[in-house]
Structure 1
Amino acid sequence: MRTDRNHTRLDRVFARLDREPERPALVGMPRMSRHRMVLFGATLAFYVAIVWAVLITSWLVRLDWQVMFFRPYQQWPELHAFVDYYVVLGQRGPTAVMVAAWLGWRSWRQHTLRPLLALGVSLLLLNVTVGAAKYGMGRLGPHYATEIGSNEMWLGGDIFPSGHTANAVVTWGILAYLASTPRARRWLSALSAVTSLGVGLSTVYIGTHWLSDVVLGWAAGLLILLALPWFEPVIARAEDRVFDLRDRWRARRGRTAPAVGPVARPVVLEPLTDRAGPAPEPVSPGRPVRPPVYLAPGPHTTRAERSPVSPAGSRRPPHPERHPRGTTSATRP
């Protein structure tokens, strides 16, 4: 009786991955379209507006102080254990390792370096832009505030914008950016938005960031994702350069050099005057030198002096007085 195996959901997932093409050529790379340009301009204007609202100590700064005095970690203490673990999704080290492992497997599967290079470019832009804004404006966090109602700017801090929030937007949003189908891109965009939103609110809950820090971190991460199509030519050139270096290294490694040994010099044999036969010809330099033939010690005769051997019959010399076996002579001596 034949029984069919019931395939689990994991088997179906791996079966679908096995059908994935090795270097898909029809994957639509995001371009800097008009729609994306409008989004980039609107996000940049929102970014500047948030910074200006904090600089002039507007209603946004007053909202920051109200949320800080509300102390969410004291209002809902039962969430503290969960939030401590959830906020790790915004830390650069663990999230970069997890996403790089997935994108590395995908790069190996599809024989392309674009996923890893796109991740590297996005993290580089994140470090440069967010790091420069943090240390340039130097805002202090809620735990280190010095004056109630002030914006705490240019006092040596490094929390504006929120690095956790911006890192969550970029790290998880790069998965949506590199999605191969529109449906996957929509689902991953929604998932990354919810994850980054939760990470930002977690930092406000713990009290490490102002609410305006989180809002500016969302805008900073979104600006990086929207600007990535400008860097696609750089990513393509870097990928071609890496593959070119790999091909050269493989060609250099696969080229087998001939084994270098002692060079055989041409040997000229002098003619032998005490032996019969013509003198051997000298060995030309281009002809390979044969190993010497081992000869037993003792005198040797030439081929002409040896007794001829008939091709058929016995190798013993003929004996006229010997009779073949099975016959008896008439008289015995």
Structure 2
Amino acid sequence: MRTERKLTRLDRVFARLDREPERPAHLDVPRMSRHRVALLTGTLAFYLAIVWAVVTTSWLVRLDWQVMFFRPYQQWSGIHWFVDYYVVLGQRGPTAVMVAAWLGWRSWRQHTLRPLLTLGVALLLLNITVGAAKYGMGRLGPHYATTIGSNEMGLGGDIFPSGHTANAVVTWGILAYLASTPRARRWLSALSAVTSLGVGMATVYLGTHWLSDVLLGWAAGLLILLALPWCEPLIARAEARILDLRDRRRARGGVPAPAPAPAPVGSSVLLNPRASAQEEAAAREPAARSPRAAPAYLAPGPHTARSERTPVTPIGSRRPPHSDRVPRGTPTPARPLTGG
């Protein structure tokens, strides 16, 4: 008895992937709408306001020192172990590997390079903008502060804005940016906002960043996410060029194309494109003069379809004759009686 093999979970996953289209048509690519431009303008104004408040040593710098002297890591020391693990969600290396693995699987499933290319562009913009701001302003962190009440600017530091916070906003926000449906985008936006908010507050708890560093890091990451639609044409051109290079490489080292099948005798296709018209006519003339003989199994008359033929009923029985059998209706002779 043959039984069918029970499909495992991995078999069902691959069977589902095989049914995926080449590229889903419902992918929603965000555009630079008026609403997004307004958010970008407001975030940029908030960014510049934070920088100005720190440079001028305003009330925001005094708040930074008050939070630092409060020492949250001593006030709530019981959650220190959890915050040490949670702040890893803002480190560039681990988060980039996790998100790149997920987006790589999406790229393979949807047969498009856009998720990975978008992540690469976002991280490149993050490194350029945040890195330039860090080294340009050179602010020292709370653990390395020299003068109480100063903004600690221009002293060779690299903590303004917060790289952990900006990286959390960009890395986890890119999942919401690449979501396929509006509902998934809303849920992922809320989740990424909570995650990046927690990462920023974790750095303040540990004393590695001022509160103003975290505020500027949120603004820096949000600016990159809001400006990504301007990079979509560049991402599309890069994807097309990469796929074109892949096709060229396959054509160079791939299997040669199969040779065309030979044309039958008497057809209008030229077997040799360099041959002249007289040679082709001479090649066709013998075949036209000598008609092919019909095969032996075909009747000499015209061939008719099976549905047009008249059914023929065989006469007589198909059973082979038996000499020892008597036809029905024939009287049998009487058997002799035996015995005394």
**TM-score between both structures, scaled by the size of structure 2:** 0.71
The structural deviation recorded for 1:28 is: 1.4
The structural deviation recorded for 1:255 is: 4.2
- 2:63 counterpart residue number: 63
Between the aligned partners of 1:190 and 1:18, the Cα distance in structure 2 is: 32
Between the aligned partners of 2:214 and 2:17, the Cα distance in structure 1 is: 37
Between the aligned partners of 2:15 and 2:226, the Cα distance in structure 1 is: 33
- The answer to whether the aligner puts 1:149 opposite 2:117 as a matched pair is no
Q: 1:117 to 1:249 in 2, by over 3 A?
A: same
- The answer to whether the aligner puts 1:249 opposite 2:249 as a matched pair is yes
Q: 1:197 to 1:69 in 2, by over 3 A?
A: same
Q: 1:81 to 1:179 in 2, by over 3 A?
A: same
The structural deviation recorded for 1:26 is: 2.5
Q: 1:19 to 1:256 in 2, by over 3 A?
A: closer
Between the aligned partners of 1:165 and 1:14, the Cα distance in structure 2 is: 37
Q: 1:24 to 1:136 in 2, by over 3 A?
A: same
Between the aligned partners of 1:14 and 1:204, the Cα distance in structure 2 is: 45
The structural deviation recorded for 1:24 is: 1.1
Unaligned runs of 5+ in 2: 1-5, 258-340
- 1:291 counterpart residue number: none
What amino acid does structure 2 have at the position aligned with 1:137? M
* Residue-by-residue CA offset, 1:289-333 (whole Å, 9 max, x unaligned): xxxxxxxxxxxxxxxxxxxxxxxxxxxxxxxxxxxxxxxxxxxxx
Alignment of 1:107-118 (within 5 A): 107-118=107-118
Between the aligned partners of 2:34 and 2:17, the Cα distance in structure 1 is: 34
Between the aligned partners of 2:241 and 2:125, the Cα distance in structure 1 is: 21
- 1:298 counterpart residue number: none
The structural deviation recorded for 1:253 is: 1.3
Q: 1:14 to 1:162 in 2, by over 3 A?
A: farther
What amino acid does structure 1 have at the position aligned with 2:66? Q
- 1:54 counterpart residue number: 54
Between the aligned partners of 1:251 and 1:243, the Cα distance in structure 2 is: 12
* Residue-by-residue CA offset, 1:214-252 (whole Å, 9 max, x unaligned): 000000000000000000000000000000000001111
- 2:183 counterpart residue number: 183
* Residue-by-residue CA offset, 1:87-130 (whole Å, 9 max, x unaligned): 00000000000000000000011110000000000000000000
**TM-score between both structures, scaled by the size of structure 1:** 0.72
Between the aligned partners of 1:18 and 1:186, the Cα distance in structure 2 is: 29
* Residue-by-residue CA offset, 1:46-86 (whole Å, 9 max, x unaligned): 00000000001000000000000000000000110000000
Aligned residues: 252
- The answer to whether the aligner puts 1:121 opposite 2:121 as a matched pair is yes
- 1:278 counterpart residue number: none
Between the aligned partners of 2:199 and 2:18, the Cα distance in structure 1 is: 34
Between the aligned partners of 2:36 and 2:20, the Cα distance in structure 1 is: 29
CA contact (8 A) 2:43 2:223 kept: yes
Alignment of 1:235-274 (within 5 A): 235-256=235-256
The structural deviation recorded for 1:254 is: 1.4
What amino acid does structure 2 have at the position aligned with 1:53? A
Q: 1:217 to 1:256 in 2, by over 3 A?
A: same
* Residue-by-residue CA offset, 1:243-278 (whole Å, 9 max, x unaligned): 000000111111449xxxxxxxxxxxxxxxxxxxxx
Alignment of 1:148-297 (within 5 A): 148-256=148-256
- 1:23 counterpart residue number: 23
Task: Please provide the CA RMSD for this pair.
Answer: 2.3
Between the aligned partners of 1:17 and 1:140, the Cα distance in structure 2 is: 51
The structural deviation recorded for 1:17 is: 6.8
What amino acid does structure 1 have at the position aligned with 2:159? I
Unaligned runs of 5+ in 1: 258-333
Higher deviation after alignment, 21-30 or 171-180: 21-30
Q: 1:254 to 1:122 in 2, by over 3 A?
A: same
Between the aligned partners of 2:79 and 2:20, the Cα distance in structure 1 is: 41
